[in-house]
Chain A
Amino acid sequence: MSNTSNFDYCVQFGIEAIREIFHLALKNEDIFPHNLPPILRDFGGHAATVQVRLLDDADDPADLSFQDEKHILFDLPIEIQIETPDAPDPELSQVTLKSTVQAPGRVASWPVDGEDQLGVEFSGISASDVQVPALTGLPALDAGRFEAALHTAYVNLPTRVFALGPNVLTIYDGTRDPALLPPNAPGDPEISATLETHDGTQYLRVSLPLHASVPSAFGFDAYGTATFWREVQQGEGTVRVLIGTEPDEETLATQIDFDTSSLAEGAVVAQLTPLLVGRLGDFGTIEEPWFDQAAAVSLLQAETAAYLQPLRFPMYTPSSGDDTVTLATPVGFLLVATETFAILMNRRTGTEADDTIPDDFRDSEDLALALSRTVLDETIAQAIADEFPGLSDSGERIETDEGDATLQSLSVTPSDPGTHDESEGHLWINGEAEVHIDCWPDPDISFDGPIFLRLETVETDTECSATFKAEMGDFDAGQSCCDVFVDLIIPIVGWIMLGVIENMIDKVGGELAEDFADAQERQMQPIPNFVVGVAELQACLEACLTSSQGLVLPGKLRIRREGLSFEDLEAGGRLPRP
C-alpha cells in the first residue's frame, strides 16, 4: 500500500467534489437526458407508452455514495409515466410511478479525441442491479375501478336478455340499456362491486340487477339481484378478473335473490342460476394495466437500467493539448471508508491487473496531489549525479572563496514525521566530506540533518499564490560557513523540487503557463481545469508534506458549471430580451 500504489502520481478528491461534478453533469441534457422519448410497451395486451424522466431538484435531489473501490452508488429520482389509452378503466389510462432508485455506476476510463478520460459509466448495469427502496404513485386497487370496467363490459354485451324456453332472465346496469323490457327496477340499480378477501384470496363481489320471468312457476315475475364472486388475479403489470370463472368454494357460488317472496322462488333460482352463470362469461375478462409493488419495482428496475445503460459522464478529463503528446490513462479507485476518489496516473509497474487501491492521503482537504517515492528518489539521484558527478569516482571537489572541500558521499532520503527526532516530514541528508585546510592534514567530516520542504500560500478571492521553500533544519544560518553550506544546498533543492512539482502537474493533466515572470513565478492549474462539458475546476495548493511515501500537496478546490449560467448572462447583461 502506498500513496500512489503502482503509479507515479495520484490525485485525490473528497466526495463533495464528486457530488458537485455529478450535479453539474445532471444539468447537462446531453449527458443525462431528463426526458427520454416515449417507449412502447405491452401490458396485458394493452399497448402502453412509457415515459421515463430523471429528476434532480430541491424536492427530489439526486445523490451518490461510494459503494466499493470501483462503483459509485447513485440515488436517482426517476419518474415513470405509463399511458394505456385503451385501458378498460379510464382512470387506469395513466399511472405515474416515482422512486429514488439506487443504481451503481462503474468508474472507468474511455478515449475521447485520442486522450483517455475518467468517469462513470453504466454499460454493465442490469435490472437486478437497481434497487428501489421506496415507491410512490402506486395505484390503489379498489372496486370502483372494476365497476367501471363492468359498466363498459355490460354495454358491450351481445345481449342482456337470456332465455331458457319460455323463461327469460334480463340483467340491468342502471339505464345503460333503456330498451329493455321490462325496464330496470325502480331506482335503476346499477351493477356494483366490492372487494372481499376469503381465505387469503382477493375476490370481486359483484351485484347484478336482474329480472326473471318464469311463466311455468305460477307466473313468477320479479326483480332481483344476482351476487357472484370472482377471483382478482395480479401479476406481470396487469390485474384481471375472469368473470366467467366461478370459484370452486361453495360459499362463493353465484346467488340470486328476488325482491319479492314466492313459493316458487327456490325452484326459479335453481333453474335460472345455471343460466346466468353460463352467460356471465359474456362479460369476458376484465384486464387492466396494473402495478402492484413487485410489478412496479420490476418496471422501475428495468426502465432505469435501460435508461442508464448507454450513459456515462466524465469526472477527470486530462489533456496534453498537443496531438503528439498523449497523457497516461487515468485510473480511478474509490476509497469508501474516507469517501475519497483517487485518480492514479502514469503506471510505474505491472499491468491493469496489478493495479491496487492507494492509501488515503487527502485527510480532510478538498483535494491532494501525491508524487511517488520512486519518482522522488529518481529525481534526487539524478540531481546528485548531475550536481556532483565526482561522487561516483573519487569525490566531488567543491571550491568556494571561504574554503574548499571534497564531497565524498551524499544521500537524500524522504523521511516520515517522527523520524530523526523531527515531528515534521523532511528530506534527510547524509554525507561525508574532506575539508581542505592549511597546515594540517585535511580532516573528514560526517554530516546529516533535515531539509524541510514547505509551501506558503496566500489566498484571497482573486489570488492563490504559493511560495515554495526549502529550509534547513532549525539553526542560525547567519554564520558564514553555514551560509556557504545553505547557499550550496538550498537553492538546488528548491529548484529540483519546483521541477518535480511542475512535472507532476504536467503529467496529471494540469496546465502550466508558457511564460513566467523572472524565470520564477508561474501561473498554473494543478489539475485539469475542466471536466469536459460539465464543470470548471480550480485548485489551490496549500502545503507540501514530505514523507517516506514521497510528496503530498493538499489544497482547496473550486468548482463551477462549465458554460454560461443564468447568473453569467445576467452579469454580462446578455439575458434574452423580450
Chain B
Amino acid sequence: MAKKDTQPAAGKSGKKKSVKATETKPKNDEKPGSYDPPAQAKTSPLNSLTGASRVVPVLRPNTAEIITITSHRELAVRSKDIEARVAESPEFSVMFLANPVLALEAYGIKLSRELQHHVLSSLRHPPVLRKRREALEARLEEELGETAQPTTPEWMANLVFEIRKMEPRQIGKREPAYRAPLNAASIERLQKARPKGASRYGSDKRLPVRFTLQLEKPRSAIRRMDLDADVPALKKATRKPARLSVEEAWFYKDDPIVRDAVELGQIMQRGFPFRTPAEFRKLEAAETVDGFRRFIRNVRVKQVKAR
C-alpha cells in the first residue's frame, strides 16, 4: 500500500491528516539498461510525491575521466577507483539505491550493457527469489505462449477471466491473507509485556463514554501476502472486472496458473525498485523523495580485495 503524507506537518495538536496516494504500477520490472521513461511515468507515485523539506538535491560528482568497464574482472580491478570516487563525493552515493548503474555513470564509471544487466539482475532479488522468479517466468511463458506481466492489471484480468475462463467473484473490500510481520515474535513478546489490567475502581461508573486505545493495524504489505492460505468461498459476481491487481488475483489462486502469476507478481513487486533515468533525475534533484532518499545518508562501497 503506497502512502504518502502531502499535508503540512502537524502543529502542536499532533493531529495530522494523511491521504492515500494512488495505487501504483510497479516500476521495478523494467528491462535492465532500458532507461527511457515508460508511458506510465507521468502517473508514477514518484511523480506525485513532493520532496520532504530536509531532503536537498545532491551534487553530481566532478568526474573528468570516464572509466569504461566491460568485464567482471575489470570491474573487480577498478573497484579501488570506484571506492575512491565514491569517497570523494559521498553525498551522491545515496543514488546507488535509486539505480546503481546510473549512479556509477554519474561517478564516471560506465558499464557495458552486459554488465549493467548483471548488476541490476543481481541486486534486484537475492538468489533464492531470483531463481524462483526465473522458474515462474519460464513456466508461465511455456504455458501461455507469452511473457507474463502479472503486475499489469489488464493482463492479469485477461489471464483470469479469458484465458483461464474463471467466473468473476465478489471480492468487495476483502483483503488477501497476510503472513505475520517479520518481527512477529518480538511483537508477541511486547504484547505479553503490556501491563496487566485490573478493575481498580469498581463498576459503578455512570459516565457513558469509555476511552479505548488501539494500535493501527499492520499495513497489508504485498511481500507478506500468504500464497499458502486458503481462498475464502466467494459469491459469483455479475461482471468481469477489466483490471485485476496482484492482490485481487490472489482470490483466484485456486487456479494453478493464476497462482503462479500471482506469485510472480508478488516477487516482481518485492524486487529492488530501480529507477528510470527520469525518476533518477527527480530523486537527484530532490523533486521527488522515496524512502532511501528520505532515510539513507550515504553508501560506502568497498574495493574488491585481491585473493
Contact = CB atoms under 8 A, between A and B. Distances in A.
Contact of A545 (B12, B181, B214, B290): B12
Nearest to A448: B297
B214 A540 contact: no
B24 to A, nearest CB: 6
B221 interface: yes
A502 B194 contact: yes
Interface string B169-200: 00000000000011100110111011111111
A499 B197 contact: no
Interface in B277-307: 289-305
Contact of A482 (B182, B207, B290, B300): B290
A514 B199 contact: yes
Contacts of B6: 474
Nearest to A438: B122
Contacts, number: 312
Interface residues of A, number: 109
A541 B209 CA distance: 12
B297 A402 contact: no
B10 A474 contact: no
Interface stretch (B46-54, B234-242, B255-263): B46-54
B90 to A, nearest CB: 9
Task: State the main secondary structure of chain A at its contact with B.
Answer: mixed
A318 to B, nearest CB: 8
Contact of B223 (A423, A456, A487, A516): A487
B207 A538 contact: yes
Contact of B14 (A321, A538, A543): A543
Interface stretch (B125-133, B135-143, B158-166, B244-252): B125-133
Nearest to A460: B209
A562 to B, nearest CB: 8
Contacts of B190: 492, 495-496, 499
A467 B214 contact: yes
B64 interface: no
Given A319-B201, A424-B10, A514-B198, A494 B305 contact: no
A477 B126 CA distance: 20
Interface in A392-420: 400-404, 417, 420
Nearest to A544: B14
B195 A449 contact: no
B207 A558 contact: yes
A491 B183 contact: yes
B13 to A, nearest CB: 5
Nearest to B291: A482
Nearest to A503: B195
Contacts of B294: 449, 472-475
Contacts of A438: 122-123, 126-127
B193 A499 contact: yes
Task: State the main secondary structure of chain B at its contact with A.
Answer: loop
A441 interface: yes
A407 B49 CA distance: 29
A441 B302 contact: yes
A512 to B, nearest CB: 4
Given A425-B14, A543-B13, A522 B197 contact: yes
A8 to B, nearest CB: 14
Interface string A526-543: 101110000011111111
A235 B235 CA distance: 98
A445 interface: yes
B290 A568 contact: no
The residue in A422, A423, A441, A526 that gathers the most chain B C-beta atoms within 10 A of its C-beta is A441
B219 A468 contact: no
Interface residues of B, number: 96
A216 interface: no
A260 interface: no
Interface in A418-469: 420-425, 437-449, 452, 454-456, 459, 461-469
A439 B122 contact: yes
Interface in A318-352: 319-322
B212 A478 contact: no
B207 A492 contact: no
Interface stretch (B33-41, B105-113, B268-276): B268-276
A501 interface: yes
Nearest to A509: B200
A446 B297 contact: yes
Contacts of A422: 9, 53-54
B286 to A, nearest CB: 12
The residue in A387, A440, A444, A568 that gathers the most chain B C-beta atoms within 10 A of its C-beta is A440
Contacts of A525: 201, 211
Contact of A487 (B119, B181, B196): B181
Interface of A: 319-322, 363, 386-387, 400-404, 417, 420-425, 437-449, 452, 454-456, 459, 461-488, 490-492, 494-496, 498-499, 501-503, 506, 509, 511-516, 519-526, 528-530, 536-546, 558, 560, 568
The 10 closest A-B pairs by CB, nearest first: A478-B2, A482-B291, A321-B200, A421-B54, A512-B197, A521-B214, A543-B14, A441-B302, A449-B295, A423-B9
Given A478-B21, A495-B190, 13 more contacts: A321-B199, A443-B96, A443-B302, A445-B298, A446-B296, A455-B15, A471-B18, A481-B291, A498-B215, A511-B199, A511-B200, A512-B196, A543-B13
Interface of B: 1-6, 8-16, 18, 21, 24, 28, 45-46, 49, 52-54, 72, 79, 96-97, 118-119, 122-123, 125-129, 181-183, 186-187, 189-191, 193-201, 205-219, 221-224, 269-273, 289-305
30 contacts: A322-B198, A400-B182, A401-B128, A422-B9, A424-B9, A443-B299, A443-B301, A443-B302, A461-B209, A465-B214, A466-B211, A469-B216, A472-B294, A473-B295, A475-B289, A475-B293, A478-B1, A483-B222, A487-B223, A487-B224, A494-B216, A502-B213, A512-B195, A514-B196, A520-B215, A521-B214, A522-B214, A525-B201, A530-B201, A540-B211
